[in-house]
Amino acid sequence: MSAPRHVLICDEERESRSALAAHLEGHGFRVSVTAGNALTRALERARIDLVILGVQLGEDEGLRALRGLRAASDVPLVILARRGDEVDRIAGLEMGADDYLVKPVNPRELLARLRNILRRAAAGAAPSAARTRLFRFDGWRLDIIARQLWDPGGQPATLRSSEYRVLTALLAHGNRVVSRVKLIELARGRDPDPLDRSIDVRISRLRQVLCDDARGPRIIKTVHGEGYVIGVPVERT
């Protein structure tokens, strides 16, 4: 029997994190809890499969906690916020969250989203990449085993976990179009909302990392009404 998935809950609201921990433990998860100032230490002490971060991004403490987490780890992350301000939601996704939910959250919905994110993280971005160790494209290299992107000069580039999954999916499909729906599902680990714009945020961030001009991209091209496609030759080894 495999070990239970380890979820770390970081939330300053004691009642909220205690209730959430009890719910997840009742569904077979191993759960640890911490406050924001101890988040990095908690990640160093144990292997964590997913973090639930209870923050408000409009507050300095929330921004510091999220930045500190992403500086320390690319562990799958769900933000649990006190309000659903659109600016905060977009900021959270841009800073590397895999999902963003607003309190009070339906426990069954949260559980389903966590399971989907963990399943996607474990399975990888695309089955067709399973026998591939390395993708080469336009001078860039993406190492699937090391989960590391290297630029044409041989320097490592930083990718968040959701961005890694999106890029791997695009490269695994070669020069075939991947739908927005499929990319959202891979990036966020759940069925997409038709109005969900999170994939646009991740594509924009990937283009920045790849130095791909957003006004006339060469590497990640937009196919209007369909999705996205890699516009340069892709080699596998």
Of 72 and 150, more confident: 150
Give the per-residue pLDDT at 150: 94
Q: Is residue 70 part of a domain?
A: yes
Q: Is residue 84 part of a domain?
A: yes
Q: Is residue 167 part of a domain?
A: yes
Closest CA to 195 of 207, 184, 206: 184
Domain containing residue 106: CATH number: 3.40.50.2300
Is 110 found in the same domain as 20?
A: yes
- Tell me the per-residue pLDDT of 149-190, one tens digit each, with 9 for 90 and over: 999 999 999 888 778 888 988 998 888 888 887 787 666 554
Domain-terminating residue out of 123, 145, 176: 123
**Across 194-211, average pLDDT:** 82
State pTM to two decimals. Answer: 0.56
Is 140 found in the same domain as 63?
A: no
pLDDT higher than 80, residue 31: yes
Tokens of 14: 């004691």
Domain containing residue 190: CATH number: 1.10.10.10
Residue type, 153: G
Q: Is residue 95 part of a domain?
A: yes
Domain-terminating residue out of 100, 123, 146: 123
- Tell me the per-residue pLDDT of 2-24, one tens digit each, with 9 for 90 and over: 678 899 998 877 888 888 899 99
Of 62-66, 86-90, 189-193, the poorest mean pLDDT is in 189-193
Cβ atoms of 220 and 183 closer than 8 Å = no
pLDDT confidence band for 71 (50 / 70 / 90): low
Give the per-residue pLDDT at 196: 58
Is 163 found in the same domain as 116?
A: no
Is 44 found in the same domain as 11?
A: yes
Strands 227-230 and 220-223: antiparallel
Instruction: Give the total number of structural domains in the chain.
Output: 2
Give the per-residue pLDDT at 97: 79
Domain-terminating residue out of 123, 151, 177: 123
Is 115 found in the same domain as 26?
A: yes
Give the per-residue pLDDT at 229: 92
| Cis ω for the linkage preceding 194 (within 30 of 0) | no
Give the per-residue pLDDT at 131: 55
**Across 71-82, average pLDDT:** 78
Give the per-residue pLDDT at 65: 73
Q: Is residue 1 part of a domain?
A: no
Domain membership of residue 223 as a residue range: 127-236
Q: Is residue 46 part of a domain?
A: yes
Of 117 and 62, more confident: 117
Q: Is residue 216 part of a domain?
A: yes
Is 145 found in the same domain as 53?
A: no
Is 24 found in the same domain as 99?
A: yes
Is 61 found in the same domain as 23?
A: yes
Is 79 found in the same domain as 170?
A: no
Handedness of CA 197, 203, 208, 213 (dihedral sign): negative
Give the per-residue pLDDT at 102: 84
Of 11 and 213, more confident: 213
**Across 49-56, average pLDDT:** 83
Report the mean per-residue pLDDT for the chain: 80
Give the per-residue pLDDT at 156: 92
Is 89 found in the same domain as 43?
A: yes
pLDDT higher than 80, residue 51: yes
Give the per-residue pLDDT at 126: 45
Share of the chain above pLDDT 90, in %: 24
Is 59 found in the same domain as 10?
A: yes
Is 174 found in the same domain as 75?
A: no
